[in-house]
Structure 1
Amino acid sequence: MKKIILSIVIFIVICVGVFIKVYAGAQEPLKTAEEKAVTLAKEKVELNSVEDFHIYHGTETVHVLEGKNKKGENIIVWIPEKSKKVMWDKRKNGISKEDAVQRLLEEKNPQKIISVRLGMENNIPLWEIYYRSENNLINYYYVHFKTGEWLKKIENL
């Protein structure tokens, strides 16, 4: 009986170890991308601290950083993966996440909003709203970051 329990414990420990190794390996490219984006952003912009990083996959891949400059102002940095051309703006110069969602709600009746995140397409900073509509269909709604105007929508996937 002790051998069976010991075998089970060893098996569980090995499984947990393998899971941790696979997870760490999967996270490594994201960490590398973030480090490169932060380094590039600090060279081009007065970026003092980074509060959020994500990768936007649209017509092109864009690294998006949210943080503060040396004056303590909230800023957003967009870095297209191919060109590495750093674009940035103060958060107060664009519409808020809530305003972007309100723009969607004025036009559509989403059943569930899955995510709202910053991105950029054709050098235009935007909010991407991913939501589900009736019949659980997937939809994307894009709002211009600065003006709040609708840019495009992808519906009923």
Structure 2
Amino acid sequence: MKNWLIFGVVFILSLSLVISVLVLWKANAPFNDIEQKAEELALDTKALAVISESYVYNGNKPYITVFGVDEYGKEKAIFVPMSLEENSMQEVFLQDGITEQEALTVFTKETSVQKVLHTKLGFEEPGAVWEITYMSESGSLNYVYLLFEDGQWWKRILNL
């Protein structure tokens, strides 16, 4: 009887683990697919020669931000719209703005933070922006947007 009980518990835990992994894998599949297509578009249009990283940025309009180096060796970020329209792509040279670390430094000087959840470079109506998502000391979710060009505050969404 004891062996059947142990078998049943192990079986249910194993089944739960397998189902959880499959659900997470399937949930990420659309993001992985669109990121791959955006990377291919950035390479095909010769906007980038080598790609180092990409992620989905959800602002007013969703973009895939693709980082890499162009054929002249300059580091760039390409913002590919979810529609994958070549003529709607935007780009910035990373040397023309503040880095992620500089954005975090500007942000932490003026804000009390419990935990920074993520920092993403995205594209909004004023141009390239750093989106910083964090938990405040009171435990609320907050978003802060800093302009990529000079680190000026653009928008804050607080206490969600």
- TM-score normalized with structure 1 length: 0.83
* Residues 43 and 50, structure 2, Cα contact 8 Å, conserved in 1: no
Provide the rounded CA distance (Å) in 1 between the counterparts of 2:33 and 2:51: 15
Amino acid at match of 1:156: N
Deviations 1:6-51 (A, max 9, x none): 6666655554443443333222211210121112212334312222
> Which residue of 1 is the match for residue 60 of structure 2?
59
Shift of 1:100: 0.9
Q: Identity of paired residues, percent? A: 27
Shift of 1:112: 2.5
2:31 counterpart of 1:30: yes
Deviation at 1:113, TM superposition (A): 2.0
Q: Select the residue among 100, 104, 117 that pairs with 1:101.
A: 104
Counterpart in 2 of 1:42? 43
Asked whether the 8 Å contact 1:44–1:86 carries over to 2, the reply is: no
Counterpart-to-counterpart distance in 1, 2:17 and 2:135? 35
For the structure 1 residues 132 and 41, does the alpha-carbon distance in structure 2 shift closer, same or farther, using more than 3 Å as the test?
Answer: same
Gaps of 5+ in 2: none
Say if 1:139 and 1:154, in contact at 8 Å, map to a contact too. Answer: yes
CA drift at 1:120 = 1.3
Aligned-residue offset at 1:64 = 0.6
Give the AA of the match of 1:139: N
> Residues 38 and 84 of structure 2 are in contact (CA less than 8 Å); yes or no, is this contact kept in structure 1?
no
For 1:37, give the aligned amino acid.
Answer: A
Aligned length: 157
Q: CA RMSD in A?
A: 2.4
User: 1:5-20 maps to which residues of 2 (within 5 A)?
Assistant: 14-20=15-21
Q: Using a 3 Å threshold, how does the CA distance of structure 1 residues 133 and 96 change in structure 2: closer, same or farther? A: same
Report the counterpart of residue 77 of structure 2 in structure 1. Answer: 76
CA distance in 2, matches of 1:134, 1:3: 49
Instruction: Output the CA distance in 2 between the equivalents of 1:54 and 1:12.
Output: 32
2:136 corresponding residue in structure 1: 133
Q: 1:136 to 1:47 in 2, by over 3 A?
A: same
Q: Is the 8 A contact 2:34 2:82 kept in 1?
A: no
Give TM-score, length-normalised by structure 2. Answer: 0.81
Look up the equivalent residue of 1:110 and give its one-letter code.
Answer: V
